[in-house]
Amino acid sequence: MASATFFFVGFLVLAGEAIALQRKDDLSEMEMDEDELLGLFEVMSSLIEDPGWGRAHPEPCTETPWPGVECEIGEDDPSIFHVTKVHIGPDIITPTCKISANISDALLKLPYLKTLSIFNCFVSSPVTLSPTLFGALSSLEHLALYSNPTLSGEIPSSLAEIAGLRVLSLSQTNLQGNIPKELGRLVNLEQLDLSYNNLSGEIPDEIGGMISLTVLDLSWNGLQGQVPPSLGTLQLLQKIDLGSNKLVGSIPPALGKLSRLVLLDLSQNCINGPIPETLSGLQQLQYLIVDHNPINSRIPLFLGTLQNLTAISVSECGLTGPIPNFFSSLNSLTALSLDNNNLSGTVPPSLGSLPNSMLDQLNLSHNQLSGELKFPEEFIERLGERLDVRGNDKLCTSNKLYLNKNISIYLQIPPCLGTKENGGNGTVQEHPDNSSRYHGKISSNAAQWLNPLEVLSFIYYNFAFCWIFIL
């Protein structure tokens, strides 16, 4: 029995070797179309600083592969390989590209190309996108030209002719002009990322034609006008990031129809309130970021029904009224930024006792909150400097832990009068040096820490700009 088993194993090894040799022979008989091979050599020559690349990789699909090039066997002729992917980036080669790198028209010789990814390549010499080149690449599914600071010019409307395009990423470049309305014809597009450019004009209403879209990122541009209501028809959307633009008007109620939306970022714009109650339909929403907008209304109560919320940021929105109690019912909440508003009333103690202690960042600074702050000591110690309550002149505490600078300088509020320890009527005891409570930096949801004067200047600039822009 043992000898039979040994014989069977030996047979499998020999059979495997025979199959591998046969596969190698089959591959050696396969080849690339000569025009396609020469086109690949031209494309690589226009990008990388390696004049010997063609000699080093004469058979890039078989015997001499390169990690940034992928091929597939032809459907019509199984003996022919076709180039289907070209990727240039620092993960493949360093330095990524030569100084005079450009996008060659030789791409037209790669008719089977599905993926073109050029990352951190155009960093020295100016490069523009051809108005016709990409429209002729009918097989393209994934076009990513991101982190290329010298890539400029306008987005070619001919991109709309690539019917099978699924991913379009032109992020972190220097593109200008409007977003072509023709892009709305890309019904198979799943991801559109045009963030960190210098785009202007309005977001085209035709974008609502991208019925397969799951990710829309237009942040960090100079886009104007209103958020198009047509976005509410894109039922597959999971992420909308329109932050850091010059958008005005109100939030379209139609966005509440996006039942799969996970992230909504409208921050750093001139959008006014109130936030429409139709957004209660966003039951999958995890991240709501609306800070630095003149919302000028109360915190909407429907937020308490969005049980998947993980982070809420409504800093510097002109919010008024009290802090609602519903935040304690959001079991997944980890970050809450309500700073630099006009919120009043007491701080709900329940904020410090969220289930499973999920809350890990709480910013209530620079409001008009009053009364005694009654957070559990364990909560105070755990959050440390991630808990900021400064800039609320009528807020006080009877817990000496708030005065412990070793825990956080952002908790320095005066003791209350009228407590068992101090006696009195529950009012705030004046701090010996009231100004010292505002020294240092303040916690904010902004990308950097700002001192109080910088915050006030920023608020003034932001709201003044919105007012001027609306006029």
pLDDT reported for residue 352: 85
Structural contact between residues 419 and 398, judged by C-beta atoms closer than 8 angstroms: yes
Question: CA 382 → CA 286, 361, 392, distances in Å?
Answer: 23, 10, 22
Q: What is the pLDDT of residues 434-460, one digit of tens each?
A: 333 322 222 334 333 333 333 333 333
Confidence of residue 430 (pLDDT cuts 50, 70, 90): very low
Q: Where are the beta strands (DSSP E) in 132-230?
A: 142-144, 151-154, 167-169, 174-177, 191-193, 198-199, 215-217
User: pTM higher than 0.95 for the full model?
Assistant: no
* Residue 78, pLDDT score: 85
Amino acid sitting at position 290: V
Query: CA-CA distance, 143 to 247, in Å (whole number)?
Result: 27
- Identify the pLDDT of residue 357: 63
Q: At 404, is the pLDDT very low, low, confident or very high (cuts 50, 70, 90)?
A: low
State phi, psi for 435 to the nearest 5 degrees: -70, -25
Number of Cβ within a 10 Å radius of residue 11:
10
Q: Rounded to an integer, what is the distance from CA 26 to the centroid of its chain?
A: 46
| pLDDT number for residue 436 | 31
Summarize the confidence of residues 22-29 as an average pLDDT: 44
The string of pLDDT tens digits covering residues 153-207 is: 999 999 999 999 999 999 999 999 999 999 999 999 999 999 999 999 999 999 9
The answer, yes or no, to whether residue 75 has pLDDT greater than 70, is yes
Share of residues in the chain with pLDDT > 90 (%): 67
In this structure, what are the phi and psi dihedrals at residue 36, rounded to the nearest 5 degrees?
A: -65, -40
Q: Percentage of residues in the chain with pLDDT exceeding 70?
A: 79
Q: Which of 443, 440, 446, 471 is nearest to 459 (CA)?
A: 446
State yes or no: pLDDT of 274 exceeds 50.
Answer: yes
Does the pLDDT of residue 425 top 60, yes or no? no
